[in-house]
Structure 1
Amino acid sequence: MTIFEGSFSQAESLRFALVIARFNDLITNKLVEGCQDCLKRHGVDVNPQGTQVDYAWVPGCFELPLVARQLAITNRYDAIICLGAVIRGQTPHFDYVASEVSKGIAATGFQTGVPVIFGVITADTMQQALERAGIKSNHGWGYGMDALEMASLMRQVKSASTANHYPNPAIEPTNHHTLSASFQEAVAEPSSE
């Protein structure tokens, strides 16, 4: 029996991309700081001029999945961290954005095999978002930890798969029988019609 478990050490060889929404930058800048602090304390060079972390700024959360996917398909990164904040307003806009962003980020990871961390705060108020981005705690730190663990874990799994000549033909990359219809649509390849 093999047990795979991500590690938080030996991060010096890992590469990350941070995709950050500019909208609600009061929140997202704090998330970036927390994430950088975590990665740096685990041996990652977070300097924008360095070679371990690349940064991509997008207008808002809705654009996070597109840029994350484009970065993931380059095969340059061990994990991608999407950072943003969606705060409820007076219209249903919040529900649409939060739903589509979460689906898009999840689909990116499933489609590419690259861990894509959902670092998007969804809050009812600005106060709630601020509490999650630094007043009470900084979730950016946790998103950094998630990325470190998943990057390490996926390296182990991929290494074992290569060494043992996997994948197992009985296991499909996406089992459409167990996924909801809306999620199937999100991960479906575009038709050639």
Structure 2
Amino acid sequence: MQIAIIASQFNKKICDRLITGSKKALDKAGLKYEIFAVPGAFEIPFMAQKLIDSKKFAGIIALGCVIKGETDHYKAVCEGVTYGIQKVSIENRIPIMFGVLMCHDISNAFERSAENSKHNKGYECANGLIEILQRSPQK
């Protein structure tokens, strides 16, 4: 069983910590994975669809970090990536775990991506995906 990790390169330091969390959980479970980089969170749904079309992956972990700024761009990106990931997952019947942090400041992002914590969102998403795949009927 192969897992895809899609990670935004925007706010890269945070996203790298999320990747580390996901890898830790997947390695512990003995699962294989590939990591795919996208420029920002908004591009995650497109990449998820392309990976699903490849029929290589049993599930996807979507990782990113959007930090609120002074404009409405934050709201548009958050809503777009949330809707896009949900739509791709439901329409294709493939689990996509939502590990896109939406934070008001950088300190909150660092808390949710702590490398030595079970509260690392990447770690949580990988464990959630493992649980869903174990409970899902096989095709």
TM-score bin, normalised by smaller chain: over 0.9
Match of 1:85 in 2: 65
Give the gaps of 5 or more residues in structure 1: 1-13, 45-51, 160-193
> 1:74-105: per-residue Cα shift (whole Å, max 9, x none)?
22111011100000000111000000000000
Matched letter for residue 73 of structure 1: D
Q: When you count strand as a share of all residues, which structure comes out higher?
A: 2
* Contact 1:73-1:112 at 8 Å conserved across structures: no
Count how many residue pairs are aligned between Structure 1 and Structure 2.
137
Q: CA deviation at 1:147?
A: 1.3
Match of 2:3 in 1: 16
Q: When you count helix as a share of all residues, which structure comes out higher?
A: 2
Cα distance in 1 for residues equivalent to 2:58 and 2:20: 20
- 2:84 alignment partner, one of 104, 113, 123: 104
- 2:54 alignment partner, one of 74, 78, 82: 74
Match of 1:145 in 2: 127
1:1-193 matches, within 5 Å, as: 14-44=1-31, 52-134=32-114, 137-154=119-136, 156=137, 158-159=138-139
* TM-score, with structure 1 as normaliser: 0.68
Cα distance in 2 for residues equivalent to 1:54 and 1:151: 17
Cα distance in 2 for residues equivalent to 1:122 and 1:141: 17
* TM-score, with structure 2 as normaliser: 0.93
Give the gaps of 5 or more residues in structure 2: none
Runs of 4+ in 1 over 6 A off after TM superposition: none
**Structure with higher RCO (Cα < 8 A, 6+ apart):** 2
Matched letter for residue 145 of structure 1: N
SS at match of 2:55: coil
Cα distance in 2 for residues equivalent to 1:35 and 1:61: 17
Cα distance in 2 for residues equivalent to 1:139 and 1:118: 9
SS at match of 1:82: strand
